[in-house]
């Protein structure tokens, strides 16, 4: 791997797992980027798969400010949908695209420290960067880690972590370039138009107005946190435009550029 290129940390949302064409395109782009000498880490969600699995088991989905309230009885279903089904769907697609990948979660190699975020949310985790050794080892082999957002705390509780928040921690761990890929072209304004650049003041204003809400509120907060931490913009874009990812290398922007200031 080239030493002067930052590792690309791509976060994909759950809707991708239900779109075969989107999956194939994303993996083809990732394969090209890896081929060009840049390392890639894929961090993924799977919220819609969790919703489906909960419903199939007669359980309710409750969210607070974009985060799933996760009572103890839902933990096995959440873990199965994220660390199991979602992770393996992505691995299968990566292998098909010729990528050597390793399926993992936030529980592996002590990469992060996890704790319960807020008792109100149940088994929802907050994570902080801990030790990048395992990830760096995988990247040094030219392999692509595929990371689900399941973590564990010091007491051995499995925790459900929002995948955008998981991606911020992975980006910090490897000091990588973070791109949050969702099912929308980026952050949209009140008229549904794409916002090309977004700073904190503008994001706060749109959040107050209710234009940025739910999952996008969590995503923008995650993007702002990493942009400020790294001192460089973070992109929020669509996985439907995965072929545009190569434009990033040329310094071009895709989707919404979330600014550090
Ligand atoms: N201002 C906004 N711009 C774009 N999407 C928004 C906005 N506010 C709320 N959303 C919602 O946020 C969703 C993306 O967040 P989320 O569902 O968590 O995505 P993912 O699963 O890809 O992480 C969009 O599909 C949209 O429904
Ligand atoms: C605590 C929390 O909200 N966890 C998320 C984890 C999955 C996720 O974030 O998936 P997307 O990226 O597809 O939204 C959830 O259970 O839905």
Q: Where are the domains of the chain?
A: 8-258
- Interface ipTM: 0.98
Assess whether 47 carries a catalytic annotation: yes
Given a cut of 90, whether residue 247 has pLDDT beyond it is no
Whole-angstrom CA distances from 183 to 10, 81, 238 are 14, 19, 5
Give yes or no for a contact between 160 and 153, defined as CB atoms under 8 angstroms apart: no
**68 annotated ligand binder:** yes
**160 annotated ligand binder:** yes
Assess whether 219 carries a catalytic annotation: yes
Given a cut of 80, whether residue 113 has pLDDT beyond it is yes
Cβ-based neighbours of 248, under 8 Å, separated by 6 or more: 8, 177, 179, 235, 254
Cα–Cα dist 107/91, whole Å? 18
Q: Is the CB of 186 under 6 A from ligand 2?
A: no
Give the pLDDT of residue 144: 98
Give yes or no for a contact between 211 and 233, defined as CB atoms under 8 angstroms apart: no
Query: Token pair for residue 101?
Result: 């990948």
For domain 8-258, is the CATH number 3.40.1160.10?
yes
Cα–Cα dist 138/40, whole Å? 10
CA–centroid distance, residue 137 to ligand 2 (Å): 27
Give yes or no for a contact between 169 and 159, defined as CB atoms under 8 angstroms apart: no
Of ligand 1's listed atoms, the one at least distance from the Cα of 211 is: 1
Cβ-based neighbours of 250, under 8 Å, separated by 6 or more: none
Cα–Cα dist 164/220, whole Å? 9
Which residue, chain included where needed, has tokens 């669509």?
238
Q: Is the CB of 46 under 6 A from ligand 1?
A: no
Assess whether 65 carries a catalytic annotation: no
Of ligand 2's listed atoms, the one at least distance from the Cα of 121 is: 1
Q: What tens digit of pLDDT does each residue of 10-22 get? A: 999 999 999 999 9
Report residue 244's pLDDT band, with 50, 70 and 90 as the boundaries.
Answer: confident
Cβ-based neighbours of 175, under 8 Å, separated by 6 or more: 6, 7, 230
Q: Is the CB of 213 under 6 A from ligand 1?
A: yes
Phi-psi region of 203 (alpha: psi -120 to 50; beta: other; left: phi over 0): alpha
Cα–Cα dist 104/109, whole Å? 9
- For the chain, give the percent of residues with pLDDT over 90: 92
Given a cut of 60, whether residue 164 has pLDDT beyond it is yes
CA–centroid distance, residue 158 to ligand 1 (Å): 26
DSSP 161-203: --HHHHHHHHHHHHT-EEEEEESSSS-B-TTSPBPSEE-HHHH
**231 annotated ligand binder:** no
Report residue 243's pLDDT band, with 50, 70 and 90 as the boundaries.
Answer: confident
């Amino acid at each position: 791997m080239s030493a002067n290129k930052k590792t690309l940390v791509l976060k994909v949302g759950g809707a991708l797992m239900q779109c075969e064409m989107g999956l194939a395109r994303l993996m083809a782009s990732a394969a090209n980027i890896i081929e060009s000498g840049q390392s890639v880490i894929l961090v993924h969600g799977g919220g819609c798969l969790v919703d489906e699995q909960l419903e199939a088991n007669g359980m309710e989905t409750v969210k607070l400010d974009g985060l799933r309230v996760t009572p103890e009885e839902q933990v096995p279903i959440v873990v199965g949908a994220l660390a199991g089904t979602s992770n393996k769907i992505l691995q299968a697609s990566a292998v098909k695209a010729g990528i050597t990948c390793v399926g993992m979660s936030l529980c592996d190699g002590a990469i992060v420290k996890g704790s319960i975020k807020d008792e109100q949310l149940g088994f929802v985790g907050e994570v902080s960067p801990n030790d990048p050794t395992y990830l760096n080892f995988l990247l040094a082999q030219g392999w692509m880690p595929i990371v689900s957002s399941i973590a564990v705390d010091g007491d051995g509780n499995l925790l459900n972590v929002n995948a955008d928040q998981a991606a911020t921690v992975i980006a910090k761990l490897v000091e990588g370039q973070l791109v949050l890929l969702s099912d929308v072209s980026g952050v949209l304004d009140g008229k549904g138009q794409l916002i090309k650049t977004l700073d904190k003041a503008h994001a706060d204003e749109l959040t107050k107005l209710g234009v940025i809400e739910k999952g996008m509120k969590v995503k923008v907060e995650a993007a702002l946190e990493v942009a400020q931490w790294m001192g460089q913009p973070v992109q929020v874009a669509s996985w439907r435009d995965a072929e545009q990812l190569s434009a990033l290398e040329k310094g071009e922007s895709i989707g919404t550029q979330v600014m550090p200031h």
